[in-house]
């Protein structure tokens, strides 16, 4: 399976079979698990590259804010870049999840965990612009914040990902997806000396492993910046 699929897929299958055969042993259907001597496959961690401000500007430049799709897509992209949210969290936003007077959004995260985050002035203006244009849309009566360009239907998370792929291709930015901004958000937070505990709250994490995983893509860059700032061994 490692050769034909991936180590991650093989690892998931191994874990499932391990539980199944352990149950058979406990029920005395088997004396020994066939996986007792089968080593668990190693899952190689892939480093997701961060996305720079120049690349984000190029993607935003493809959005004609005078049109419904352009105004909507700019607001979505700014929400990813400005709040570091998951794809599903942005996709599932409803109109009443936004508080435009306080510049906050209520995200519905994994495990039914809600959290409120702040967004900046540029994101606020993009949201206001989209909401004004949205009021003239056929699906304006729907509760979902993001609407498909045609018809009275909400825009799904898959629809958002397809939009990002199109915008990325038009801007010359390869492999554009929402999680790149999430990694970038964590990187910039750590780079600015932000507290890890606060970052976990903002991004909706409950495991200490997540900040390390999301910061791994740019950890070397931060380490080199720290090394240059500390000037260790330069004053001898």
pLDDT digits (tens, 9 = 90+) for 75-123: 999 999 999 999 999 999 999 999 999 999 999 987 778 999 999 999 9
The per-residue pLDDT for 40 is 83
The per-residue pLDDT for 198 is 87
Q: What are the pLDDT digits (tens) for 199-229?
A: 888 888 877 777 776 666 666 667 777 778 8
Contact (CB, 8 A) for 117 and 202: yes
Q: How many CA atoms lie less than 13 Å away from 120 in the CB half-sphere?
A: 9
The lowest-confidence range among 13-17, 156-160, 210-214, 232-236 is: 210-214
The per-residue pLDDT for 44 is 66
Work out the mean pLDDT of the chain and round it to a whole number: 89
Strand order in 98-99's β-sheet? Answer: 98-99, 104-108, 114-118
Token output for 51: 């996305």
The per-residue pLDDT for 169 is 97
The per-residue pLDDT for 142 is 97
Q: Does pLDDT of 10 surpass 90?
A: no
Contact (CB, 8 A) for 217 and 47: yes
């Amino acid at each position: 399976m490692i050769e034909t699929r991936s180590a991650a897929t093989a690892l998931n299958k191994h874990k499932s079979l391990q539980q199944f055969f352990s149950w058979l042993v406990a029920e005395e259907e088997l004396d020994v698990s066939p996986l007792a001597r089968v080593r668990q496959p190693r899952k190689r961690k892939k480093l997701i590259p961060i996305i720079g401000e120049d690349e984000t500007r190029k993607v935003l430049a493809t959005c004609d804010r005078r049109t419904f799709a352009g105004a909507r897509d700019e607001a979505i992209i700014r929400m990813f870049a400005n709040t570091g949210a998951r794809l599903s969290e942005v996709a599932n936003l409803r109109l009443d999840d936004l508080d435009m007077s306080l510049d906050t959004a209520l995200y519905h995260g994994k495990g039914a965990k809600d959290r409120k985050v702040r967004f900046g002035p540029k994101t606020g203006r993009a949201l206001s612009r989209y909401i004004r244009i949205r009021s003239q849309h056929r699906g304006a009566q729907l509760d979902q914040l993001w609407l498909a360009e045609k018809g009275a239907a909400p825009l799904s998370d898959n629809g958002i990902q397809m939009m990002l792929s199109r915008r990325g291709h038009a801007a010359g930015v390869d492999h554009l997806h929402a999680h790149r901004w999430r990694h970038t958000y964590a990187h910039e937070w750590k780079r600015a000396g932000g507290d890890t505990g606060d970052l976990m709250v903002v991004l909706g994490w409950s495991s200490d492993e997540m900040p390390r995983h999301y910061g791994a893509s740019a950890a070397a860059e931060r380490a080199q910046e720290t090394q240059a700032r500390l000037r260790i061994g330069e004053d001898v």
